Structure 1
């Protein structure tokens, strides 16, 4: 039985307007944060409120053969585990994945009346923290299956996992995967809707994801703060020592990170990057809210994509030990701490990174200062296995059917920790990793939004791809 494409389009439009947007808006307005960023996540009830909202919605959809439960392991953030039984003979297993935890709100940086915990629709965009990353995934995964059932299309067995610690490196997820291994079984296809798109004009397939490692780097030089007039010139500033140590990790002139964290980039990935750069053009850097005359590190578009997807990079995302400028006296401070965030190449095993970083940052400290690096999050990246012919064909057909343009492969600079785990656990599986985080959507940052029209077309593509897997894989 063949899918009715027009019926899929109608279904997706109605589903977003009547099902996704109303409940997703309620989800956005719950201030639940990932465990790494909320010390009271286990007691303030916000995580439970968010996950119960999602699970209750799932149960109300009337999906045939569905069981959906909130699973809890003591001390770990909960997950939703859904199983939808197959309606066809010789069915295969498909795993669909998303998450419901959120990054910190950054409330003071939202503009134009927008707010991280207020769902606001403007110009076809739904604003609010966690809508695009990754609240919509629960709705899109379930409704894609419902669309097949409404057309009486025989389908595979589906397992949907919605976790609660992705933004903390999926630290709580492995225990659940192990505990519910029998329910999950061995998927031949993994669908993850937590990724992005290069534009809103076609279907984008994520070909790779960088890994990530974060931690605190502290330099301590004194046990007691003292007058800067007395100490400067005698006591080395903790900030200056910090700069010297960071220079070992990153060239401050070029941004190049220590070669110990680099890998050789496969030639076929370079070819895909060149094609992606050709499609996107200056959007690669123009999507950002540049301040005045600030420029990108280079205008070579392919090199920018290489930097974003296969090169290690360093960001300093937080700082302790430095008072606000309005309260800064003439004092030599005792220490400085910065939050170090390093993106690692997709094929770099993150387990090696902590040892390498401690060696780079802590060895032979300048002036004998106390330099310590303490890791708090680490996740390996992911590099897609070769795409099988049936999937390559289906991707092209879906993109052309619902967007009118061919699909494009793009590496992502971010991290989805679960994909690295799955890649190792299920090496024979095919992966469809995509999403609606596109230009200016600003996941993790202020004014995060999702493009509603793109979301409708993306849902249609997911329906098509699930049907193609059932028929051809």
Structure 2
């Protein structure tokens, strides 16, 4: 049973105001990474609390855990005390803006451009994820005077730096946040306009590696030839990580990758894939080929296989470079691991590979700085059926079930702390959105459709979970 037409009409009548609320939140540079101003996260949390209070929610409060950026919690009880409870999760912190000169419009001045998309840091990841639910909740309260189920919200302030305090926060407030279903508003859609329910996430292992060949930099003319340099030696070492086809070449890396069951393979096979669109959304330069095993589909490579990338590389900046042989170079190796792989085992495997036979006998040190498992669930049961109906009604086309190549560290622990309740992972990121990159954007038509879907979801869960 979906939302009444008058609820959807209320969302549409107030849509411009909902976009304006999103813009105001996205103007706040609430970057949770180190070296950015933490006071902006305080300002962001207060703004979120103000929005939720204006929507009509109760018990709105900014909560803090020592050492963490602030959380915002709120709730609204249904008229029926026996109604089920949904806990909605979003986050108000954002990624650093990156290279400011690459933004066509300022990162923290959200702008609707000629293509009709809203551009700005955090507009899709994840402030729209909060605002779409705020729009749906407001419409229900303004037209019906009550919600069809109890709703609680938790809005985190450090998701972009790994949610290091979230498990402790959930344990501390377990009773207050208890629910029958968890709605995570921070994932992606298969394509623009295609509503998607995410049922798996890859994990991540990050290895920092440093390589030294000299006690200090030396003149490249006086010593170059017989004496090696660290940058070249590290490049050689990193080149061993993948083969010429772009397949990870670390022995044993994929030893514990679970086989997909027939149902999952069938779901992937049903999904449409257009290579030209995929290449365009990724920004691949003309002539650059896709990498990975040809006998494995792109979606399986993205969602269910490990991938290796060098995500940071450091020797000497161009601005301070001289004609020298560099003494030391560093890199960060990021390994996205398949759902079900053991991050501890993968970390040990990669560290052994990097330190076993160093080029030119260099001194190599490697350590794991992040080890996060993936996650997966079976999309069966009344909560998942309700979500599919709501997404289909909101977007006007059938919902699909997908995986996600990214990592959301808290999802697994969140489910455990909350007692194993169903977790519905929904979101607004689409292939062109460039979340985490410069010129992050949101499709505003999908924002409207997602608000409709949220309104339907409240109704569907209210019936399905009784």
TM-score clears 0.5: yes
Cα distance between partner residues in 2 of 1:434 and 1:301: 30
CA distance in 1, matches of 2:133, 2:195: 16
Aligned residues of 1:202 and 1:399 also touching (Cα < 8 A): no
**Residues 351 and 153 from structure 1, CA distance in 2 versus in 1: closer, same or farther, beyond 3 angstroms?**
farther
- SS of the equivalent of 1:287 reads helix
In the alignment, is residue 172 of structure 1 matched against residue 165 of structure 2? yes
Instruction: Kindly report which structure 2 residues correspond to 1:21-32, keeping only aligned pairs within 5 A, or say none.
Output: 21-32=19-30
SS at 1:224 equivalent? coil
Please name the residue that 1:296 is paired with.
290
1:357 paired with 2:355, answer no
Aligned CA distance change for structure 1 residues 198 and 236 (closer, same or farther; 3 Å): same
1:3 touches 1:153 (CA, 8 Å); kept in 2?
no
TM-score, normalised relative to structure 1:
0.89
Question: Hey, what's the Cα distance between the residues in 1 that align with 2:146 and 2:259?
Answer: 41
Query: Counterpart of 1:236?
Result: 228
**Equivalent residue for 2:314?**
320
Alpha-carbon distance between aligned partners in 2 of 1:4 and 1:275, rounded to the nearest angstrom: 29
Aligned to 1:306: 300
Please tell me whether the aligned partners of residues 128 and 448 of structure 1 are also in contact (alpha carbons under 8 angstroms). yes
1:39 and 2:30 are equivalent in the alignment: no
Cα deviations by residue, 1:277-317 (Å, 9 ceiling, x for unpaired) = x2666433332222233232279696211111111112222
Secondary structure of 2:152's aligned partner: strand
Change (3 A) 1:214 1:138: same
CA distance in 1, matches of 2:332, 2:229: 18
Alignment of 1:1-400 (within 5 A): 3-18=2-17, 20-35=18-33, 38-42=34-38, 45-63=39-57, 66-111=58-103, 113-122=104-113, 123-149=115-141, 150-152=143-145, 154-185=147-178, 187-258=179-250, 260-262=252-254, 263-267=257-261, 268-276=263-271, 278=272, 282-297=276-291, 303-324=297-318, 327-388=320-381, 390-400=382-392
Q: Within 2, Cα distance between the matches of 1:79 and 1:349? A: 30
C-alpha deviations, 1:395-450, integer Å up to 9, x for none? Answer: 44334433331111111111111212123444642222111110211001111100
Which whole-Å CA distance do the structure 1 matches of 2:392 and 2:295 have between them?
26
Q: Secondary structure at the match of 1:353?
A: helix
1:433 equivalent in alignment to 2:429:
no
8 Å contact from structure 1 (residues 227, 331) kept in 2: yes
| Change beyond 3 A, Cα 1:41–1:374 | farther
Structure 1: unaligned runs, 5 residues or longer: none
Greater Cα offset, 238-247 or 129-138:
238-247
User: Does structure 2 retain, via aligned residues, the 8 Å contact 1:120–1:126?
Assistant: yes
Q: 1:103 to 1:215 in 2, by over 3 A?
A: farther
Contact preservation (8 Å) 2:8, 2:139: no
Checking the alignment, whether the CA contact within 8 Å between 2:250 and 2:349 is kept in structure 1 is no
CA distance in structure 2 between the aligned counterparts of 1:176 and 1:294, rounded to whole angstroms: 45
Output one character per residue of 1:189-220: Cα deviation in whole Å (capped at 9) or x when no partner: 11111111112223111121111233422111
1:280/1:466 CA distance change after superposition, 3 Å: farther
Q: Flag the 1:218–1:467 CA change in 2: closer, same or farther, 3 A.
A: same
Please provide the CA RMSD for this pair.
2.5
Pick closer, same or farther for the CA change 1:409–1:73 going to 2, 3 Å. same
- Cα displacement string for residues 132-188 of structure 1 (whole angstroms, at most 9, x for unaligned residues): 000122222333333333324653332211111111111122221121112112x32
Question: How far did 1:79 drift?
Answer: 0.8
Q: Contact 1:221–1:335 (CA<8 Å) still a contact in 2?
A: yes
Higher alpha-carbon deviation: 52-61 or 83-92 = 83-92
CA distance in structure 1 between the partners assigned to 2:116 and 2:5 by the alignment: 22
CA distance in structure 1 between the partners assigned to 2:329 and 2:232 by the alignment: 10
Alignment check: 8 A CA contact 1:319 1:339 kept: yes
Specify whether residues 259 and 145 from structure 1 end up closer, same or farther in structure 2 by C-alpha distance, changes over 3 A only.
farther
The 2-side partners of 1:334 and 1:6 are apart by 68
* Compared CA separation, residues 116 and 328, structure 1 to 2 (3 A): same
